[in-house]
Amino acid sequence: MGKKIGKQTVCLSKGVPILSTASTVGPKEAEGPLGAYFDKKVEDALFGQETWEQAESFFVQENMALAVEKAGLKMKDMDYILCGDLLNQCTGSCFGIKNFDIPYFGLFGACSTMGEAMSLGAMLIDGGFAGHVLTGASSHFCAAEKQFRFPLPLGTQRPPTSTWTVTGDGAAVLAGKGEGPKIVEITTGKIVDMGVTDANNMGAAMAPAAAALLLAHFEDTGRMPQDYDVIATGDLGTIGRELVVELLSKEGYEMDSRFTDCGIEIFDAEKQDTHAGGSGCACSAVTFCGYFYPKLKAGEIGRMLFIPTGALMSPTSSQQGQPIPGIAHGLVIEGCGKGAAR
């Protein structure tokens, strides 16, 4: 049985091990600073499909199967799949997993979806409802630009505050038993709306939600930022990270270099012309699965606070003048070996 601690946090009765992860990315991500860490790099972002949307589904299909394979399991061993994406009606996920023949809970947390999937998946396992849960999240630059902003052939100029949607899929297999870094606590985010309306400045839109999540987590657990080896938000980019540092400082929490953002890690903003950083559901998903997970497994990271962040808007809500509410979901993950002893 889980236990609620504080207002927004639950403590799992025993840590839920992440047996394996898999990350599959497009060419731009492969050329970035984390390129060497990803399992599979696809040379053509169309991935042999006819449309960008079908390509995204193919990323989902291939990568989720890879995560299961890496855990030494078969797809039929999975009790549930929990995943989601940014495409209209989450078709990236639905069409990606439709042939897996596994009970499916579709999620929408915008770019925070990987956090939502891992949170719910860990609770289903800890509550005794599942032995294995396959979690994941995906996004695709070309499909996202077309849907949320402008068709790519227009060659629209991008403002400096904009971020670059990551093409790829990240997936993780959670289990009731076995070896691996363990999810031990979950802090679930509330929607935070500070009235930001600029769809080209997602970092600013999501920063208040990330800051609120961090504050709630520190209050619920009694910990300080320095109690974590790594704190990684999802896709705030440079502008959003700076805002979080400022907001937390006002509340008496000094965030240092151990606080990073997956959107800052995944691209070399200057060389790759990605402006404020990476974004999209896949940003935190592939960065966690490809880059942080092996470090947790090797004991190089003892305790990590992983906080995928999301902007809960649609082109329609923006066109109707609505603000961009943000959300963030936090998970405490403990590394293997002596790192976990702290």
# chain residues binding a copy of itself, by CB under 8 A? 63
* Closest alpha carbon to 111 in 89, 86, 130, 144: 86
Nearer to a copy of itself, 38 or 59 (CB): 59
308 binds a copy of itself (CB under 8 A): no
C-beta of residue 68 within 8 angstroms of C-beta of residue 83? no
Nearer to a copy of itself, 181 or 189 (CB): 189
169 binds a copy of itself (CB under 8 A): no
Q: Residue 175: enclosing H or E segment and its boundaries?
A: strand 168-175
69 binds a copy of itself (CB under 8 A): no
Footprint of a copy of itself on 182-221 (CB under 8 A): 188-191, 193
Least CB distance from residue 276 to a copy of itself, whole Å? 21
109 binds a copy of itself (CB under 8 A): yes
Interface stretch with a copy of itself, choices 25-33, 134-142, 284-292, 309-317 (CB under 8 A): 309-317
Q: What is the DSSP string of 109-121?
A: BTBTHHHHHHHHH
User: Is the C-alpha dihedral spanning 70, 75, 77, 82 positive or negative?
Assistant: positive
234 binds a copy of itself (CB under 8 A): no
C-beta of residue 315 within 8 angstroms of C-beta of residue 293? no
Interface stretch with a copy of itself, choices 23-31, 90-98, 255-263, 292-300 (CB under 8 A): 90-98
Question: Rg (Cα) of the chain, in Å, rounded?
Answer: 18
CA separation for the pair 127, 120 (Å, rounded):
10
Beta bridge partners of 22: 171
338 phi/psi in degrees, rounded to 5 = -70, -25
| Count of other CB atoms within 10 angstroms of residue 86 | 28
Binding mask 115-154 for a copy of itself (x = CB under 8 A): -x--xx--xx-xxxxxx---------------x-------
Footprint of a copy of itself on 28-67 (CB under 8 A): 50-51, 53-54
Helix H, strand E, coil C: the string for 192-230 is: ECCCCCCCCCHHHHHHHHHHHHHHHHHHHHCCCHHHCCE
Nearer to a copy of itself, 8 or 165 (CB): 8
68 binds a copy of itself (CB under 8 A): no
Give the footprint of a copy of itself on this chain (CB under 8 A): 1-4, 8, 10, 13, 50-51, 53-54, 79-80, 84, 86-91, 94-95, 97-110, 116, 119-120, 123-124, 126-131, 147, 188-191, 193, 312-317, 320, 322, 325, 327
